Amino acid sequence: MNGDGRPDLYVANDLDPNRLYVNEPADDALGFRFVEQGHTKRVDDPNAGMGIAVGDYSGDGRQDLFVTNSRGQLHAAYRARPGDLPYADARPAFVGALGQQYTGWGASWADLDLDGSPELAIANGAIPVTSLAKDAQRIRVVSTDGGTIRALDTGPSEPRNGRGLAVADFDNDGDPDIAVNSIGGALQLFRNDGAKGHWLEVGGLAPGAVVTVTLPDGRRLVRELHAGSSYLSSEDPRAGFGLGPATRVSALPDQSRCTSSILSSEAQSAGVSVNAMSALNAIEMARVAENCR
Ligand SMILES: [Ca+2]
Ligand SMILES: [Ca+2]
Ligand SMILES: [Ca+2]
Ligand SMILES: [Ca+2]
């Protein structure tokens, strides 16, 4: 959360305010302690927090927070700011696209159309569940292009009593796909078809690792690898990037403690050959990660 290389904990906390436990060094056998800073950093939303999505929707390289809440409450959204500044309240940017009629659960950022800007997918389902049919709600997806949050058409998806939501490129064709589990319903697997952009998938790194991809126009895409985010779910262990029309990028994995390791990997990325690029990068990234241990 504060970019110091020590993993922190952010907790969506249902009936209590969300908590932020910042990891600080301690002079004892454990070597660290957690200091609660939810209020100080202004991320202590008191609503019915369920799922957490972490991603840089604002495009400044800093990881922002989105937390799903219940019907009638605004979902919590926090934009990271530089240095020690508290997070900015980004709820007003999202409410126009998401409204307050849905109860949100799992949530994940992913660049679904591979254009270099992330989308946010949210599983929904009303509570308390009194009727599986009546309480079912559709998955929602918003785009963030140009800093404006817009609702996207999710097509003819069946409403479900959605809970967990996980993003992974399950068919390994470069675009992120979405799985949603639900109460009293079958798993939904949304295969992503038609994304036009080029892409890069970086594997072989541990959760907490940060990968930065620099596009030819200088724009930086920063992804942090997570395990167990969203809600009752976990993500693809690879970091996926949509590159838009770019066919050459540089990628830099950074595990923070590893300040002496620098990798600038340039490779061709076009059409099907991008798979070879991903494999090449995965090997190089794994080597850098090994050096960092
Ligand atoms: Ca930290
Ligand atoms: Ca950001
Ligand atoms: Ca996109
Ligand atoms: Ca896919």
CA 259–ligand 4 middle distance (angstroms): 33
CA 66–ligand 3 middle distance (angstroms): 17
Mean pLDDT of 68-78: 95
pLDDT at 172: 93
CA 227–ligand 1 middle distance (angstroms): 16
pLDDT tens by residue, 141-195? 999 987 789 999 877 778 999 999 999 999 999 999 999 999 999 999 999 998 9
Which residue, chain included where needed, has tokens 């959204």? 77
Nearest ligand for residue 118 CA: 3
Q: What is the length of the chain?
A: 293
Nearest ligand for residue 192 CA: 4
CA 18–ligand 4 middle distance (angstroms): 33
CA distance 226 to 223: 9
Average pLDDT, the chain: 86
Q: What percent of the chain is modeled with pLDDT above 70?
A: 85
In degrees, rounded to 5, the angle at the alpha carbon of residue 215 between the alpha carbons of residues 81 and 276 is 125
For residues 107 and 68, the answer to whether their CB atoms sit within 8 Å is: yes
Nearest ligand for residue 177 CA: 4
Nearest ligand for residue 174 CA: 4
Amino acid at 45: D
DSSP 275: H
Cis peptide before 216 (omega within 30 of 0): no
